[in-house]
Structures are given as C-alpha cells and as structure tokens.
Chain A
Amino acid sequence: MSFVWTLAEQHEGRLKGVSFELLGRGRALADALDTKLASVVIGDGVDAAQLEALVHRGADEVYAIQDPRLASFTCETYSNLLVHLIKTYQPSVLLAAATSTGRTLMPHVAVRVHTGLTADCTELAIEPGTGQLLQTRPAIGGNIMATIKTPDHRPQMATVRPKSSRPLPADPTRVGKVIAVPLDDFLVDDRVRVTGYRRDALDFVNLEEAEVVVAGGRGMKKAEHFDLLRDLADAWGGAVGATRDAVDRGWLGYPHQVGLSGKTISPRLYIGAGISGAIQHLAGIKTSDTIVSINSDPDASLHKVADFGIVGDLFDVLRELRRRLQERREEGPS
C-alpha cells in the first residue's frame, strides 16, 4: 500500500509538468515517512511511456484510471472516483496542484472524506516525532506564512503552488508498478457536460505554468509597448503578465492579470516593468524565485521586493535588454 499520493494532471492525453513537480515533493515526504509514493492519473489517452515517466521521476506506483468519460475534468465524476480510491486504499497524504483542477477537486473531495485541506502550499515537510504533514502557505495577500496541520483526519490533503519546486531528474533505472484501474459506471456523474474549449490565440496565456513571466504596469503607457515585453518573454519561452491597472486600461486581457484579483504566480524569474508594486500586485508575485524590477521611479515598491532593480527609462532599458539577448542568441550557446 502506498501512503503518499500525488494527483497527476493531464490535458488531451498529455501529462502536465506540474505532475512531476508534485512527485518531487511527494518523494521527499515518502522518504521521510519511509513509505511508498504513488501517483494517481485520471484522464484518457495518457500513454505507457508517460506513465513510466512518472516512475522515473519518483513514483513507486502509478494508478491510472483512463476512460473517454474522464478526458476532460468535471468535478463530480473526478470527485466520485478520487473519494472511492481514497476509501479503498487509505493514503495518508494526498497532494494535488493548485491549478484550476486541483483547487476545484480537492476541496470537494476533502468535504466528502471529512478531512482537512490546505490551499496553495509553498512548503511541505514531515514533522519529526509525530510524522505529521506540515503545510506552509502564504495568506493575507502574502503578508504571512501560516503552517497548518491536519492532526486527526486522513488523508492530509494539500494543494501545491505550481512552479514552487523543481521536478526530480528522470532516472530511467527506477522501477515501479503501473496499475490500470477500471472506471466503474456507478462513479460517472454526467450532470455537467464539457462541450469544448475556446482559446483566444491572440490573448491567452498560461501564466501559472510559465517559468519566466515578464509583466508590465501603468508605466508601459500603451498597449503597443507590450510588444517589447512579448519579445523579452519569447526569449525565455515565457509569458507576459500585467497589473490590474494595465488590464483595466484594456492593454491586455484578464488572463494576463497578476495579483489579488488575478493570478498568483511563482515563476523562476519575474521581471516587472513600469510596475509601481501595489500591495495587490505584490500578493500575486511574492513567491517568485527571482524578482527583477525596471522602473524610472526610484521609490517604486517593486524595487524594494526585487532581487535586482534598475532605475532608469523603462523603454531604453527594455530595448537594450532585448538587443543583448538577441546578440547572445546569434552568438550561439555560450
């Protein structure tokens, strides 16, 4: 029996990167508890090579429940299935990603199995002595870090902020069991029907899963100037973000908004350009690994939380940075 579980996520048969990040987290916990780590895959069309990759990245067991009726996330059926699996196998810890899926499914399941759930954790550890899961998360707009336990209920459930840790390197020599679990009909709830996906190619962005986010605020002055940020983001294969102010001015669409009424992100690198650093925006970026601020105003709050700040004309600095990155690229790998 496996005692630490992670919930893998897939879209259209492809496992998402966050599934591997969770395994890194889960591996550390399972090792501290001297127990097994299992990854649960709910979806359709995830091939054997990908399931094996979960083993290579830390899983001892993989439970794969695949069925065309599970291709798209609907809370009701996924919840029935996960509740059923929890009752059958009784894991001690269950981790999921703090994504639109994880943040919907996990609270639903926690209510039904009567256990605690901690949202959006950035640190997880096992308490020496008790073996209980210590779940640490930012709260009140990132102003505090709260450590939370679920002493008497199992499983101890947590959602984990994407990009808050790195996956383990793949180890092709790792051996584990891949177990296909059939979907019982009685678990299927077809009240909610997914009829498709709409994607605005021009103005859609997957901010939460980007390694690098280049964001602009009011200092960008107009929509066209965001092309500069897009060029920079492209250099890293990253995404463009924006403050509420920039979104409310119509410079970018809401999916780009970072902060209290938008997305909360933890990229490896966040570059804020022309962003004063309102507390609402800072709440969305505080757990970024590295913060760079570019602003002509030396008193901008973002400079104060930045690891590296440049005080100077925004556009001069951005253009120079773009030119230098292009130069590096043309010179080839260093």
Chain B
Amino acid sequence: MDIVVPIKQVPETSNVKMDPKTGTMIRDGVETVVNPLDLFAIETALRLKEAHGGTVTALSMGPKGAEKALREAIAMGCDGGVLVSDRAFAGSDSWATSYTLSQAIRQMGRFDLIVAGERATDGDTGQVGPGIAAWLDLPLATYVAAITRVDPDEGRLTVERLVEEGYQVLELPLPALLTVVKEIAAPRLPMLRGKKRAKAAEVPLYTAATMDLEPAFLGLKGSPTRVVKVATPKVTRGGTVVQAKDAEAVAGAVDRLLAFLDARDLLPHDGAPAGGAAAEQAGGRP
C-alpha cells in the first residue's frame, strides 16, 4: 500500500508569542515542529505499511525550512519526503493550499491512500484534507478514530469516524483520503537509525516551475479569502477569585459561586438544562 501523508510545519504552540502592537505572531526565534496532529497521520500510515507493505511518503508545502519537518517524518520511518515550496505559493488560503498539494500528489504518481491530520494547530481550519479529496475526487473519511479492516486485494477499508453521535462506521474503496484523530494511534519517537537516514535522505523540491499549475490558483492571488483584521483578544477576564481554606470558607465560596451563576442565569433549571426557555427569551448574548 503506497501512502502519502501531507504534513505541516507549525510553531510550537507552548511558546507562541504575540506582538501586542500588530496583533501578529512573532515567528522569529520560535521553535517549529511537525504539526502535532500530523504525527497521528504519520503513525497510522507507518502501521499500515508495516502490516501490508508499500511505502509512506510525507509531503509538505511551506517555506524552505519545512524540509526539517519532512526529515523528522523520515526519522519516524517514512520512506521519503517531498517539499513543495515557492514564493508563488506564499499567502495561500486553504483553497489554494489544497489545490497546490493535490497537484503535487498527482505529480508524485500512483498511490493507494492519503492520510492527513485532522487540522493544523496554527491555522486550525481542518479544510485542507477534505479540499484535497475534492480536487482529486477521492472517497473521504474525516475524524477517523480507527481502521478496523483493511482488504488490500479488494482495495477496501473499514473505518470508524468519531462524530457527535458516536462512531460512524464506513466502508470505502481505495484510493481514498482519511483524516485521523489522536485516538487512532500513539505516535512513535524517531529512532537513531531513522535520524541517520533522515539526515542522508534526498528531499525532492517541487516549485511552481516544476509543477503543472494554473497560475491564477496560486498563493494570495489565487486565494478566495482575505484576512482583513487581526485582533488579540484579552486573555484575562478579570474574574473574581475567592479563597476556600477551611470548611466554612468552602461553604462561603460555593455560596458566592451559586449567586454568581444565578446572576448569569446559569443555575440548573428544574428538570431542564441551563439555556432552555429562559435563556432563549433573553435573546442570546451580544
């Protein structure tokens, strides 16, 4: 089974710093990592390869530095990586990104399966995976929490999607595209041998010049959406904090909490969840 895993390089979220003046992220000196949610996709692909043979190729679109993310994927066990990078791709929204990546996947050649993370932790849209499926007209299963059956001969998968009502069980033919959630598998750590291989690996570079692309679909110019404003929301709510050191203080604190909830119409209504009729009459929040 030949598998493609699109990954993204993202800033490490634990130390994201915002410029208070411009409201934009300070990228200088910020550590980058493979999008943590993509690690579940890489792990899923590696396990399928181990069970059924084939190859796993990571693919990333981004600045030249995104090569580091691809080498990390190779260190985990991917057979190779492809970097899609060009100034012409800068400013791509999820529409243009999914177009460019789908053209790269076409160029990479035959594959059986694409496994992607559910979303990236920076852009947080979750739109590129389904977008690639649309471009390539591939059967799609998102939020996959388990692959319960693989029939490589017939080219069929049975998967379970984590949805609001439980797990939706789907059967789909290959080639297909899956986006996976954390529950599917715990990612492995890179091994020394993998790290050595990653160092030596050749990572092919795809650019606008080497790809078959519609110029009007690329980068900021090819993106239907525009960011018109960025604001930093206030982090603290300036809430009340009360101390509850002993039994008496606990009772007092809970008193105040109940009064606070009551003032916001958040106490349980008899037999009905909060936000029932009373909340609706209030006409919603500003």
Residues of A within 8 A of B (CB): 11, 16, 24, 72-76, 79, 99-101, 103-112, 114-120, 134, 138-153, 165-169, 191-200, 204, 206, 208-209, 211-212, 235-238, 254-255, 257, 260-262, 268-269, 278-280, 283, 286, 289-292, 298, 303-313, 316-317, 320-321, 324-325, 328-329, 332-333
Contacts and interface: CB of A to CB of B under 8 A. Distances in A.
Contacts, number: 320
| Dominant secondary structure at the A interface | mixed
| Dominant secondary structure at the B interface | mixed
B250 A255 contact: no
Given A208-B164, A305-B235, A312-B244, A165 B284 contact: yes
* Shortest Cβ-Cβ A-B pairs, 8 listed: A312-B244, A237-B273, A199-B166, A116-B224, A166-B284, A116-B225, A107-B127, A111-B134
B127 A110 contact: yes
A116 B223 CA distance: 7
Contact of B131 (A111, A167, A199, A316): A111
Contacts of B141: 192
B145 interface: yes
A255 B168 CA distance: 13
Given A76-B139, A103-B142, A198-B160, A166 B283 contact: yes
Interface stretch (B1-9, B45-53, B104-112, B251-259): B251-259
Interface stretch (B60-68, B69-77, B116-124, B192-200): B116-124
B267 interface: yes
A321 B121 contact: no
A183 B163 CA distance: 25
6 contacts: A73-B168, A104-B143, A117-B225, A139-B123, A212-B273, A261-B36
Contacts of B25: 140, 143-144
Nearest to A301: B235
A108 B245 CA distance: 54
A168 B277 CA distance: 11
A329 B269 CA distance: 9
B213 interface: no
B280 A166 contact: yes
Contacts of A143: 16, 18, 25, 232
Interface string B93-116: 111001100000000000000000
Interface stretch (B80-88, B169-177, B202-210): B169-177
Given A107-B94, A140-B122, A238-B273, A311 B242 contact: yes
A293 B112 CA distance: 48
A80 B78 CA distance: 35
Nearest to B134: A111
Contact of A149 (B168, B228, B275): B228
Nearest to B240: A308
B165 A292 contact: no
B177 to A, nearest CB: 10
B233 interface: yes
B82 to A, nearest CB: 21
Contacts of A11: 164-165
Contact of B241 (A101, A206, A303): A303
Nearest to B270: A333
A324 B258 contact: yes
Given A146-B229, A195-B158, A268-B274, A313 B164 contact: no
